[in-house]
């Protein structure tokens, strides 16, 4: 069976839909998952979509994706700005990594302007809300077909 692309979501993204909707929109995480499954399906890709508030679980899932995935899309939430452990796990991956953020982190507080995760990403998409996940899936399909 073809390997899925992993889409990993970090802390507080389980609250999507009710969390600061003026920043993150009204779409829930479940809505976003359906959107990703639909988009990936049109490109012939399967999706493994997960969310955790725990850094260690996210590191474990990155390692799982490294072994079992065709590619990895990650919105690490606040861990983007703090987690060298996630960066190291991503650097160990030889599958394509695409970083995504719902909001435009560069228009926000200065502490959000740096993402450690970007150091391991093929590219970064931010500021387009849920559409960004679809754009990341398109970019991933192209990266996988180039590999
Ligand atoms: C986020 C941006 C981060 O700065 C923030 O901590 C999040 C969500 C985004 O998707 O815009 O939790 O990754």
**CATH code assigned at 117:** 3.40.50.9100
For the annotated catalytic residues, the residue numbers are 24, 101
* Cα-to-centroid distance, 80 and ligand 1 (Å): 8
Binding residues for substrate: 75, 81, 88, 102-103, 112
CA-CA-CA-CA torsion sign (110, 112, 118, 123): negative
- State residue 147's pLDDT score: 75
pTM of the prediction?
0.97
Our count of domains for the chain comes to: 1
Position in ligand 1 atom list of the atom nearest CA 23? 11
Rounded CA gap, 111 and 14, in Å?
22
Mutation probe of ligand 1 site: the residue of 75, 107, 111 with most atoms within 8 A of C-beta: 75
Range of the domain at 10: 5-146
> Interior CA angle at 34 toward 6 and 58, to 5°?
30
pLDDT higher than 80, residue 22: yes
CA-CA-CA-CA torsion sign (43, 48, 53, 58): negative
Read off the pLDDT of residues 108-121 as tens digits, 9 standing for 90 and up: 999 999 999 999 99
Read off the pLDDT of residues 51-110 as tens digits, 9 standing for 90 and up: 999 999 999 999 999 999 999 999 999 999 999 999 999 999 999 999 999 999 999 999
């Amino acid at each position: 069976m073809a390997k899925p692309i992993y889409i990993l979501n970090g802390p507080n993204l389980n609250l999507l839909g009710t969390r600061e909707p003026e920043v993150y929109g009204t779409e829930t995480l479940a809505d976003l998952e359906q959107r990703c499954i639909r988009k990936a399906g049109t490109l012939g890709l399967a999706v493994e979509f997960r969310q955790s508030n725990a850094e260690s679980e996210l590191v474990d899932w990155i390692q799982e994706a490294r072994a079992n995935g065709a590619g990895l899309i990650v919105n690490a939430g606040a861990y983007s700005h703090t987690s060298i452990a996630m960066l190291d796990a991503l650097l160990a991956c030889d599958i394509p990594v695409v970083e995504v953020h719902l909001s435009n982190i560069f228009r926000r507080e200065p502490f959000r302007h740096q993402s450690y995760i970007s150091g391991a990403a093929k590219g970064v998409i931010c500021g387009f809300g849920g559409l960004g996940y679809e754009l990341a899936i398109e970019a991933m399909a192209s990266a996988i077909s180039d590999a």
